[in-house]
């Protein structure tokens, strides 16, 4: 298979989405301290840009989740590879994700976090593939919506490749001629 890529979101489009999200989050949390929880690895570039636009008292933590499957589909079996490094009880927690697709990964993670009794729990995703949702989750902040297609760049990978691309690209697999 050859991988054919075209740009879906330019640097400017991404920057605009990040700025819009930051404005909403700044307005909603006002002076409340917020714990940003980045889901690794996909969210690290987005989180790095978002956090610098937040005019709030912010701390950062990370979790590593994996859903086993092939390169471009998730299996529906989620596992926590690395848990948060600090308790979240009584805190305002905002989970930062690269893409919500079927919703299975975040459904699992939000259920785990909710049991720890945070004061509030919300989700911010850069990309929402709403049409592909298989389980219901409430996504509070959405940067960009797409219908379908496999994307890479801006921290998002395909088999660990392409995370360094500054834009978001869509991959099309084509049979070799």
**Positions that interact with Mg ion (CB under 5 A):** 42, 98
SS3 assignment, position 36 = strand
Q: Per rule CB under 6 A, is residue 150 in the interface with ligand IMP?
A: yes
Cα distances from 12 to residues 15, 16, 128, 168, in angstroms, run 5, 6, 18, 11
Q: Per rule CB under 6 A, is residue 144 in the interface with ligand IMP?
A: no
Q: Please answer whether residues 76 and 67 qualify as being in contact, where contact means their C-beta atoms are separated by less than 8 angstroms.
A: yes
Q: What's the min distance (Å) between Cβ of 71 and ligand IMP?
A: 9
Instruction: State which residue, 117 or 172, has the beta carbon closest to ligand IMP.
Output: 172
Residue 100 contact, options Mg ion, ligand IMP, none, Cβ 5-8 Å cut-off depending on partner type: ligand IMP
Element (H, E) at 37: strand 34-40
Q: Return the residue of 122, 151, 154, 162 that touches ligand IMP, per CB under 6 A.
A: 151
Instruction: State which residue, 56 or 101, has the beta carbon closest to Mg ion.
Output: 101
Q: Which of 137, 135, 133 has the alpha carbon at shortest distance from 124?
A: 137
H helix and E strand count, the chain: 3, 9
**x-or-dash string of contact with ligand IMP, 55-74, rule CB under 6 A:** ------------x------x
Q: Per rule CB under 6 A, is residue 104 in the interface with ligand IMP?
A: yes
Q: Per rule CB under 6 A, is residue 49 in the interface with ligand IMP?
A: no
Query: Is-catalytic flag, 92?
Result: no
What's CA 83's distance to the chain center, in Å? 16
The catalytic residue among 101, 111, 140, 148 is 101
Instruction: State which residue, 56 or 99, has the beta carbon closest to ligand IMP.
Output: 99
Element (H, E) at 58: strand 58-67
């Amino acid at each position: 298979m050859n991988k054919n890529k075209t740009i879906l979101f330019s640097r400017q489009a991404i920057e605009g989405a990040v700025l819009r999200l930051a404005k909403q989050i700044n307005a909603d949390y006002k002076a409340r301290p917020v714990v940003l929880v980045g889901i690794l690895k996909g969210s690290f570039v987005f989180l790095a840009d978002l956090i610098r636009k937040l005019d709030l008292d912010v701390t950062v933590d990370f979790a590593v989740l994996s859903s086993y499957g092939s390169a471009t589909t998730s299996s529906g079996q989620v596992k926590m590879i690395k848990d948060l490094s600090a308790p979240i009880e009584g805190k305002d927690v905002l989970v930062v994700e690269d893409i919500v697709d079927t919703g299975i990964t975040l459904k699992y993670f939000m259920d785990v976090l909710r049991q720890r009794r945070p004061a509030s729990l919300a989700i911010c995703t850069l990309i929402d593939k709403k049409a592909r949702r298989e389980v219901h989750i409430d996504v509070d902040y959405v940067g960009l919506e797409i219908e379908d297609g496999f994307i890479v760049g801006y921290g998002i990978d395909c088999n660990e490749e392409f995370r360094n691309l500054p834009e978001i690209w869509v991959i099309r697999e084509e049979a070799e001629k």
